[in-house]
Structure 1
């Protein structure tokens, strides 16, 4: 083996590729051919079995429908107790004859047996000449099972031939038994009707294995008892019929030939229908397919030899040249396009390579631009941390409170201002916890309530489990400030509600006001307005909605940011989507 490996290693690239392509492709074709042949055999077998199951199911339904007709006739006749009265003999004969001549019925002969032994038959003349010795036993069978319909085992009747009987008592108004109605089913007629539905052999049998349909001695699949008339199945085969499972199974037929048996579920009489298909039937049409595969394999081997040789030669040379050109590319940022001189796969590969280099350069430029923009926003944020107008107005408010001797309110306002300034300046990181962001927001709203009174109210409904997660500093404050001065102030007061929950693997914060609302056109301008526009003198910072929206997208990507919904006169809702970010993620630089 080692000599073979060394010999293969000493060969040239083209020869190696030729041998590899030929052997691998030949093995692949052989495996595929073998699998396809067996798949074809399996598909054909499954198709035939599915057809057989369908035929068996439909045949079983037809048998049930035929037996339903017999049961319906018995039920109708069991209500005609008046036919058993003295003087109604002719009416009874005519009624039975009409029912027996029903077109879709397989009932051969109908009887009404009175409790005193008087018999009315649908074929009056035949009964008076031939008679039927089974009627007393059928009368006793009808009185069993609490007056329900009973069915006998198959027997031979002088009136109906190979048959079985349905029996049902006839009761009067006081539920006393006045007689019995009997219907003998023609099993020969049933066999004639269901035989065309099964394209091979079949057997309709009871729970005990007694075959109901009449068998044909010319059937070559089923094993019959020797010198038996009418034909009867061998005892061992009948025992196998009883043990067959519902569905598809195997069974030994005549001369121990393997058969595929497709058995139906039992009907309400406990009968089962089994169709038998010879195993060789599945493979007789595959011989021609097998020969075609053999011929195709020989032709394919010859073609493969020639194709593998040409393919190995045509591939190695252009690929080697392509690799040499790729090795010359050292700096990704300097896109040196490769010349496209071919129109085949190698040429398309060169075009794809050139396009890949262009995309890499474009991504590098976008990344660099995003980093520069990020730094620019960070600088803008630092420059616009505190708007001087807000500080002047707050100090003027404190001075006014001091003149009014409202010392407690002065103290609380100064404490809120100090905490708000500490929150803005002291934090080293651009990220704070949601709890810290809400504390800064509370300080800001406290100052606004001192300045403007109780017309501004706010409510917090944040899931406590979210307070530990990180958020960009001064994210909620600009949203609340916008709601305060553009929604609540023109409305002369209102409520700002801040909610938060974990939804779709992200944190969603909602800032809602019940102010004047805004139009659809103005919604678009809020996120795409000029970021350099002068902020209001009442604002705490110069950070607008677009600044918040852009900062979030720069740090976390396109799926995150602001969504605005509003209705004139009803208020505005701003939804803020941010990723679930912990303090450890922030230290590790995991932003999304």
Structure 2
């Protein structure tokens, strides 16, 4: 993946834009095509399922209507108790034949069973030859629910084949049971009438899962038991029929092929009708739509390739010409502005480029001016490193100590003065380590303490790990000198504390004194170049706060320098902020 991004990054702008436009648009087209195809598939699926639900509902209504016809026949025959009387046998047989022949019913064989066991059938000759062993059970079934029609489970009858029976008691005027009327349903005829109404396959089954209709031997969708005729559903599939929810659900058919099952509500006999549709059926009509999408996608890809190429070239050619003009520029000091000949984005880019050249020239001038100012401050610092009054007073102090025979103090004072002068005159580098800066401060404070006694005290609170960092030479000494003669001396003594910390990735030094403090108006003037401090005759270097502040900013930039806070009568705190630099990082200024 990284190599792919690397390869893409090495391409030209025109090629990148071409690839991006092509890939993005192609992806968008494919997503839209897939979504439309998916929506079409879903729409077709829902339409077929809705049609199937409608057909199942209507088929279920037809089954109820057909069964109503059988029930009406039974109700009419149940009122003819006179047919069961002695001597009316021929009338009974003739009535049964008429009901069986002249009614458009799915009833195949009608029986009237007298209480003494005498049986009359609509096809009496066949019954006398073949018989029907199920009649005693059907007689008992009719008496189980007195006065109402009962329906048996499906069974095989010698007279009617695969059938089920409607049974109803026959009573006389005194409500005495005289016999039972039985109608065996022609399930084959029911199957023939239902089959054209369903798309592919269906099953009509009872609450216990017994299949009512005869299965079509040509049906390859539903799993059946092998080597059984007539065909019988596998028990596992038959059990699933009972658990199917009303409406649309999914079930596995023959060879585990997925089927969509549409199940109706139960009719008043507790029967349910389930129609089955192969899922592959939904995709057959989508093949033509799929081919149309494929052809349209190919044409779109060709058109997209051409249009993306033309579009990318129209963008990049003006930019290439603009780059060629820019490459002709060699010296930014002497720059001829590019002519603006367009009013579009390229023209605005040319205007921005011309404005950028002007800003670069102004920045170069400011940089040059800052460098000159830096050199000026350096010369100013070197010229004012030694104040004559400081040398005069220090030598006078040494002479006084010599007269008092304080040889050790004379020797230490001279040593401190020599080191201090060497530290000040050393021009090898403007940067020193924090340890060297503190050593120079120590020598300065020793001389001042020898001259003025213990009224000048100072403390250091700097972690030894910070002594390796580099700062500008003579950064602390002028600040301590300012605290001595403007804060502590008018206060007749005091303490100066110097702390060092690393805060927010910057090196910060805090110089605090407990002198007389500075008013708010004076603080605003201290770092203002218009109100630079007058040099005190007591100063060693003569370098004021403004000088230190400017030197830091010249070397390191605007975020660095001095911040002063003071309270009158309490003291003053000066915060020095410089970057964290090691010896090999001194050259890392704002100009690099």
TM-score, normalised to structure 1's length? 0.52
Q: Match of 2:181?
A: none
Using a 3 Å threshold, how does the CA distance of structure 1 residues 499 and 341 change in structure 2: closer, same or farther?
A: same
Using a 3 Å threshold, how does the CA distance of structure 1 residues 552 and 253 change in structure 2: closer, same or farther?
A: farther
1:253 offset after TM fit, Å? 6.0
The answer as to 2:27 corresponding to 1:31 is yes
Q: Match of 1:247?
A: none
Q: Match of 1:122?
A: none
Q: Which protein has the larger Cα radius of gyration, Structure 1 or Structure 2?
A: 2
Using a 3 Å threshold, how does the CA distance of structure 1 residues 501 and 318 change in structure 2: closer, same or farther?
A: closer
1:530 offset after TM fit, Å? 3.8
For residues 499 and 543 of structure 1, the distance between their equivalents in structure 2, rounded to whole angstroms, comes to 21
Using a 3 Å threshold, how does the CA distance of structure 1 residues 31 and 440 change in structure 2: closer, same or farther?
A: same
Q: Is the 8 A contact 2:532 2:546 kept in 1?
A: no
Using a 3 Å threshold, how does the CA distance of structure 1 residues 552 and 292 change in structure 2: closer, same or farther?
A: farther
For residues 16 and 461 of structure 2, the distance between their equivalents in structure 1, rounded to whole angstroms, comes to 69
1:498 offset after TM fit, Å? 0.7
Q: Return 5+ residue gaps in structure 1 as ranges.
A: 1-15, 43-214, 218-223, 235-250, 260-279
SS at match of 2:496: strand
CA offsets per residue over residues 541-569 of structure 1, 9 Å max, x none? 12111211111122122222222222222
Q: Is the 8 A contact 1:509 1:577 kept in 2?
A: yes
1:401 offset after TM fit, Å? 3.1
Q: Is the 8 A contact 1:225 1:231 kept in 2?
A: no
Using a 3 Å threshold, how does the CA distance of structure 1 residues 444 and 353 change in structure 2: closer, same or farther?
A: same
Q: Match of 2:529?
A: 529
CA offsets per residue over residues 468-527 of structure 1, 9 Å max, x none? 222211011011111112221222221100111223323221111112222333223222
Q: How does 1:504-543 map to 2 (within 5 A)?
A: 504-530=504-530, 533-543=533-543
1:397 offset after TM fit, Å? 2.4
TM-score, normalised to structure 2's length? 0.52
Q: Match of 1:553?
A: 553
1:414 offset after TM fit, Å? 2.0
CA offsets per residue over residues 257-313 of structure 1, 9 Å max, x none? 899xxxxxxxxxxxxxxxxxxxx9xx99xx9x9999989968976975785576467
For residues 521 and 580 of structure 1, the distance between their equivalents in structure 2, rounded to whole angstroms, comes to 32
For residues 34 and 551 of structure 2, the distance between their equivalents in structure 1, rounded to whole angstroms, comes to 63
Using a 3 Å threshold, how does the CA distance of structure 1 residues 497 and 532 change in structure 2: closer, same or farther?
A: closer
Q: How does 1:31-430 map to 2 (within 5 A)?
A: 31-34=27-30, 308=308, 311=311, 314-315=314-315, 318-319=318-319, 322-323=322-323, 325-426=325-426, 428-430=428-430
Using a 3 Å threshold, how does the CA distance of structure 1 residues 41 and 443 change in structure 2: closer, same or farther?
A: farther
1:390 offset after TM fit, Å? 1.3
1:428 offset after TM fit, Å? 2.0
For residues 340 and 517 of structure 1, the distance between their equivalents in structure 2, rounded to whole angstroms, comes to 61
Q: Match of 2:563?
A: 563
SS at match of 1:360: helix
Q: Match of 1:576?
A: 576
Considering only aligned residues, what root-mean-square deviation do their CA atoms show, in Å?
A: 4.3
Q: How does 1:494-509 map to 2 (within 5 A)?
A: 494-509=494-509
Q: Is the 8 A contact 1:462 1:499 kept in 2?
A: yes
For residues 496 and 40 of structure 1, the distance between their equivalents in structure 2, rounded to whole angstroms, comes to 82
Task: Report the count of equivalent residues.
Answer: 356
For residues 367 and 349 of structure 2, the distance between their equivalents in structure 1, rounded to whole angstroms, comes to 26
